Amino acid sequence: MTWRDWASAEGAAILGQGRWRRPTTLDALGPEGTVPDGAKVVSFASNDYLGLAGHPGVIAAGHDALDRWGSGSTSARLIVGSRPVHDELELALAAWKDEERAVLFSTGFQANLGVLTTFAARGGRVISEELNHASIVDGCRLSRADVAVYRHGDVDHVASLLAGGDQPAVVVTDTVFSMDGDVAPVTELAEVCARHGALLVLDEAHQVFGPVGDTGDAEVVRVGTLSKALGSLGGFVATSGPLADLLVNRARSFIFTTASSPADAAAALAAVRIVQSPEGDELRARLRANIDCLRPGHPSPIVPVVVGGEQAALAAAAALRARGVLVPAIRPPTVPVGTSRLRVTLSAAHTLDQVDALVEALDECVPGWRDHGR
């Protein structure tokens, strides 16, 4: 069998399971756009939580960087790929996260790989939340440390896994979970980590409304992204100076990759400044109002509508799409069998009329959807 034949057979198996996927092309700046068949839709699928990807100040900063430094950084940071804007952004991110230092990575995925392969090395132990993002899962695998998985949100399980161990330990969790939109018990995890001398790694990629807990006396590494609420592209790690220095010298996903483009870094820097301004407060308030229209009090912009079966989720997504509302159907293996869902993500860029139209479409297409949380 040739590799072509093998790939075709593997693809046919995926297709036969009803799990074939392909990219969704959306021609858009902001929530409204056009799909390839020419239909106009309002997207509730983006991670642009504050609408900053289309913010005039963010766009202008990217343009200015293109004019000054060109389209690419041309090299890794440790060679000649570092521009002044990368240094400025790292300083701004460290201040924003109230940490000593920040280290930029080209993607958030690379940031998690770098953190876990640096701090959870061979001879150590990493204790990972069962619903962690794929980048964390892959980082655990690549770390060559012993890996234990703890039950979702179960701090007592973490404590039991740490008790009696003599290996250096890392506890890693998302702060906001990408498929359910719920939050981790950060304060309690930090207390357990401080008691056992474990390093706490917090992936804050989907965190929009500020800290979700108090880390107290725990040693903490914060992983963030430039690609969601900041409307750009890239990842970062914010932590203490010694840990940041070690990342720069040990993290292969930092050392052996081209630096993020100057335009991406400049756009992210402009976005960080907006987030910390009164305008940022207004954007978060607008996002909060949009979330409350859909599910009052829900802690994040990610609102799951669990329908159960894979075909039911696909049918619901298609029915919404026919009404001009774009919401993805999320199916196994991304989520467990029997929990296929519509994953609604809200943005400050959505108007209340658009959110009302989404609610009306859900009422028509998924009766009882308000009770279909995780």
Residue for token pair 């200015």: 64
- Taking only the tens place, the pLDDT of each residue in 54-65 is 999 999 999 999
For tokens 């993500």, what's the residue?
345
pLDDT band at 374 (very low <50, low <70, confident <90, very high): low
Return the exposure string of 256-274: e unless at least 16 CB atoms fall within 10 Å of the residue's CB, then b. ebebbbbbbbbbbbbbbbb
Q: Residue 203: which region, alpha, beta or left (left: phi > 0; alpha: psi -120 to 50)?
A: beta
Mean pLDDT of 280-307: 97
Long-range contacts of 31-34 (CB under 8 A, 24+ apart): 31/347, 31/349, 31/350, 31/354
CA distance 241 to 243: 6
> How confident is the model at residue 251, as a pLDDT?
98
Percent of the chain with pLDDT over 70: 99
pLDDT score, position 6: 97
| Cα–Cα distance, 218 to 85 (Å, whole number) | 31
Q: How far apart are CA 223 and CA 28, in angstroms?
A: 28
CA atoms of 264 and 83, how far apart (whole Å): 12
pLDDT band (50, 70, 90) for residue 166: confident
Report whether 221 contacts 205 (CB < 8 A): no
Instruction: Kindly report, residue by residue over 5-38, the tens digit of the pLDDT.
Output: 999 999 999 999 888 889 999 999 999 999 999 9
Q: Kindly report whether the global pTM for this prediction surpasses the value 0.75.
A: yes
- Which secondary-structure segment (H or E) carries 102? strand 101-105
Give me the residue label for tokens 């074939």: 20
- Render pLDDT for 179-204 as a digit per residue (tens, 0 to 9): 999 999 999 999 999 999 999 999 99
Give the pLDDT of residue 371: 81
**Cis check: omega of the bond before 328, within 30 degrees of 0:** no
pLDDT in tens, 305-351: 999 999 999 999 999 999 999 999 999 999 999 999 999 999 999 99
203 beta partners: 174, 223
pLDDT band with cut points at 50, 70 and 90 for residue 121: confident
Two structure tokens written together for 45: 């699928």
Residue 134: closest CA among 374, 373, 335, 345: 335
**Structural tokens at position 309:** 């079966």
Model pLDDT, residue 122: 83
Would strands 219-225 and 40-43 be described as parallel, antiparallel, or unpaired?
unpaired
pLDDT of residue 17: 87
Contact 254, 77 (CB under 8 A): yes
Token pair belonging to 3: 């590799």
Residue 133 has pLDDT above 70, yes or no: yes
138: confidence class by pLDDT, cuts 50, 70, 90: very high
Helices assigned H by DSSP within the chain = 3-16, 56-69, 84-96, 108-119, 134-143, 155-162, 186-196, 241-250, 252-255, 262-275, 278-294, 310-322, 352-365
Nearest of 148, 144, 78, 150 to residue 117 by alpha carbon: 144
> Which residues are catalytically annotated?
178, 206, 228
Closest by Cα among 58, 47, 31 to 274 = 58
**How confident is the model at residue 18, as a pLDDT?**
83
CB contact at 8 A, 94 and 100: yes
User: What pLDDT is recorded for position 111?
Assistant: 98
Q: What single-letter amino acid sits at 153?
A: G
Average pLDDT over residues 101-113: 98
Please check whether residue 306 is in contact with residue 372, taking contact to mean a CB–CB distance below 8 angstroms.
yes
The full set of domains in the chain, from first to last, is 24-49+301-371 (3.90.1150.10), 55-275 (3.40.640.10)
